[in-house]
Amino acid sequence: MATVPPAESPVREVQLSALVVMRLIKHSTQVWPQPATGCLVGMDVGAQLQITNSFPFPASNPDNTTGNPNATNPADPYHQADQLALALAAPRAKSSVAYQNEMIKYLREVNVDAQGVGWYVSCSMGNFVNASFVENQAFYQRATGEQTVALVFDVGRSSQGSFNLKAYRLSPSFMAACKENKFTTESIQKSNLRYQDILIELPVAIHNSHLLTSYLHQLPTSPTADTDLALPASLNELHRNPHLASNPLAPNLDNLDLSIDPFLEKTVDQLLDSIEAHQTEQNNAQYYQRSLAREQAKIQTWQLKRKQENALRVQQKQTPLPEDEWQKLFKLPVEPSRLEAMLVGRQVEQYARQIDGFGAVVSGKMFGVRGNLLPGEAA
Amino acid sequence: MGDSHNYLHLARPLAPAPIATSQSSVTAPVSVTLQPQALFSIIDHASRRPADQERVIGTLLGTRSEDGTEVSVTNCYAVPHTETAEQVEMDMDYQKRMLDLHLRAAPKEVLNFYSQQGEGTFPHPAVHLTVSTVAGQDVEANTYISAPIGVTAERAADSCLFIPVPHEIKYDEASKSGLELIAGARDRDDRTQLMQTDLETLERAIEQVLEMLERVSNYVSDVLDEEQQSSTALGQFLLNTLALAPKVDAEDIERDFNNHIQDVLLVSYLANTIRTQIDLSNRLATAAITMGGDTNVASSGGDQQKQQSGERGGERGGQRREGGGGQQQRSGQAGPGGRRGEQ
């Protein structure tokens, strides 16, 4: 499987082990609201990528004074003063790659699959589409040329009751554009790249080992409809019954909670952020166009002057001056990359999809609640 | 698993042993809390062990409370070991190295593991956890703490006696949703479970509630028909629960309902509008380049105008940065609203 050409999309499905799920949740909720990044190890079996273990990346902390050898060195090409950006850039930092190699080496000794198959990141309410994410995934997909995947765990939405984990890869057309690293208007026109094409989402399944399954069967679930259960003698006894009080597999009814406003507020906040980012990009593009127009105007006048001078010199029987010196005299401005604009588009699409999904669920709940509180109305 | 009410802690009644000079003033941990991910990790390692070994040994990482009475195990990793008939040897080098790596990633976690010399957990006694994974029987976890034992002082530093301590497996809020999904896979043959969409989880939750309601109503009707014994505790509990239903006017409900539905629809519409606007502006920017420089400035200024009229439906009235060139061409058509302060 090592020589699969990168042009195909060899991974069609992702299978996680329960261990990875728990570790992801743990790490993400621990360092919230910072994004948590880490590495995934596993194996690829045909078109299915099996992920069996994971470990977090150490985030180099510029304020760290304990003599940590990981402390940021300004000479390091990935030195970033902002800690948030640092955490996001961790998967592709040199120190993290070394860390990852060492971890994998040690894990191999205890029979854990020793193949890096991707990385994970945690986000809040779907705000993961940014340049850092794309660069990380490009780094992984480019470096090994193998099947690697990015897992995104949404802390904000999972805390509302429904577990939210998605797997993404970069599309081959986007990878090709990344290779040239040019995102100017001409290259985009040629490749016809739209923001919807950047990411491919893959279906995720969870897989348990036998041992784990037997352990899960052992955990108490909601008590069966067994009429031999003794009736409780007092209210207190009901409250103190350990089966009922702390039952890990009791049906999790958090997602029946009807909380609309916080979700809407957060989403709207993030939409505003995206709009600001888009504005910035627009301003940059317009600035470029204006300076380009200015330079071109200057070039035009210069060329005109040259022509007149040459006409004069021809009259005076002198050699005409070269007309293409303007290329050396005037420097055209460089067009800014359009990647950020496309990412903003993709991010807004992500928010829109989330809101639609949320709307569907919440409308169902609302109608249910209304039907209950207004008796006599046909639901 | 560790019924903590009726437990006799063997170490506590003992006076601190005067044997070791430096370890005498230590209070032993009274209880241990396990996090599910550590347990899952151990189970996973157990299923990966080489065929000839009967067990796996590893290191636990976690945090200790202020006075040392509560220990919480949050992480662990396996260490390779070799077994002979008499003793079990561990690869200490590996252990140190892995500890180093783990501490780099999570500097707050503290070593909690038993080792032969007692070093590494000094000055606190080490915590030991065993998980029995015999096929066919229950998976049982037991925790112990080490206590010095020995005839003389030097012998005491070398050997340890393990005293069982009560433990508890705590599932915190965030893990519950993940756990539910994992547990959903246990009833299937291939032990796999696809990720579920929000609607599916909602459907399942509603089904569960309906089932519970059905059971309760069956019980109540049985009691009324005198087929079942009644219980005042249950009756009281049901009364308390039913009293939680709010008593609100019908108009208030209608009004709140309409408001909320409208909020959701509004934001959904807004998000889709913004998406369309951004898509449009991106396409215009990349497509218009063929029409030449001036037209380009005009068209991108045009979509700037369009985009800002879309924003006017937005929330905060904060200052939006105005676009440059395009605005100057359209300064006459400021449009409704007093937001165009600058010309």
- The C-alpha atoms of residue A295 and residue A285 are separated, in whole angstroms, by 15
Per-residue model confidence (pLDDT) at position A239: 66
At A326-376, the pLDDT tens digits run 777 777 777 777 788 888 888 888 888 888 888 888 888 888 888 877 765
Q: Which of A285-294, B8-17, B85-94, B110-119 has the highest mean pLDDT?
A: A285-294
Sign of CA dihedral B86, B92, B94, B96: positive
Taking residues B240-244, report their average pLDDT.
83
CA distances from A118 to A38, A50, A103, B175 (A): 9, 11, 14, 22
Q: Locate B301 and state its tokens.
A: 């200024």
- Of the listed ranges A1-5, A109-113, B26-30, B320-324, the least confidently predicted one is A1-5
Contact call for B177 and A161, based on CB within 8 A: yes
Per-residue model confidence (pLDDT) at position B328: 37
ipTM of this model?
0.76
Per-residue model confidence (pLDDT) at position A338: 79
User: pLDDT higher for B3 or B220?
Assistant: B220
Q: Is A188 on the interface with B (CB under 8 A)?
A: yes
Helix (H, G, I), strand (E, B) or coil at A108: helix
At B73-103, the pLDDT tens digits run 777 777 766 665 545 555 666 666 666 666 6
Helix (H, G, I), strand (E, B) or coil at B75: strand
pLDDT category of residue A244 using cuts at 50, 70 and 90: low
Mean pLDDT for chain B?
Answer: 63
- Of the listed ranges A128-142, A210-224, A297-311, the least confidently predicted one is A210-224
Per-residue model confidence (pLDDT) at position B304: 45
On the CB side of B135, CA atoms within 13 Å amount to 5
Determine which helix (DSSP H) or strand (DSSP E) holds A280, and give its type and residue range.
helix A261-315
User: pLDDT higher for B129 or B332?
Assistant: B129
The minimal CB distance from B261 to the residues A254, A344, A366 is found for A366
Decide: residue A337, CB within 10 A, 0-12 exposed, 13-18 middle, 19+ buried: middle
Mutation choice for B interface testing from A105, A163, A197, A353 by most B CBs within 10 A: A163
A377: which DSSP letter? S
The minimal CB distance from A217 to the residues B75, B186, B315 is found for B186
Contact call for B205 and A56, based on CB within 8 A: no
Residues of B in contact with A237 (CB under 8 A): 233
Burial annotation A37-53 (CB, 10 A radius, 16+ → b, else e): bbbbbbebeeebbbbbb
Res A151 pLDDT > 80 = yes
Q: Locate B226 and state its tokens.
A: 């005198």
Strand extents, DSSP E, A163-242: 165-170, 199-202, 204-207
Res B14 pLDDT > 60 = no
Q: Is B131 on the interface with A (CB under 8 A)?
A: no
Helix axes A18-30, B36-46, angle to 10 degrees: 150
Per-residue model confidence (pLDDT) at position B153: 56
Q: Is A161 on the interface with B (CB under 8 A)?
A: yes
- Of the listed ranges B8-12, B230-234, B338-342, the least confidently predicted one is B338-342
Q: Is A249 on the interface with B (CB under 8 A)?
A: yes
Res B191 pLDDT > 50 = yes
The minimal CB distance from B261 to the residues A111, A289, A363 is found for A363
Mutation choice for A interface testing from B98, B172, B201 by most A CBs within 10 A: B201
Taking residues B167-186, report their average pLDDT.
73
Q: Is A98 on the interface with B (CB under 8 A)?
A: no
Mean pLDDT for chain A?
Answer: 74
Mutation choice for B interface testing from A229, A286, A294, A296 by most B CBs within 10 A: A286
Q: Determine contact, residues B142/B183, Cβ cutoff 8 Å.
A: no
Q: Is B321 on the interface with A (CB under 8 A)?
A: yes
- The C-alpha atoms of residue A108 and residue A114 are separated, in whole angstroms, by 5
Percent of chain A with pLDDT over 90: 0
Q: Determine contact, residues B40/B183, Cβ cutoff 8 Å.
A: no
The distance of A371 to chain B (nearest Cα, Å) reads 10
Q: Is B97 on the interface with A (CB under 8 A)?
A: yes
- The C-alpha atoms of residue A363 and residue A251 are separated, in whole angstroms, by 22
The minimal CB distance from B185 to the residues A206, A214, A373 is found for A206
Residues 6+ apart with CB under 8 A from A142: A6, A175, A178, A179
Beta-carbon neighbour count of residue A242 at 10 Å? 11
Q: Determine contact, residues A371/A220, Cβ cutoff 8 Å.
A: no
Taking residues A49-61, report their average pLDDT.
75
Q: What Rg value do the Cα atoms of chain A yield, rounded?
A: 29
Contact call for A361 and B199, based on CB within 8 A: yes
Taking residues A244-255, report their average pLDDT.
62
User: pLDDT higher for B180 or B112?
Assistant: B180
pLDDT category of residue B298 using cuts at 50, 70 and 90: very low
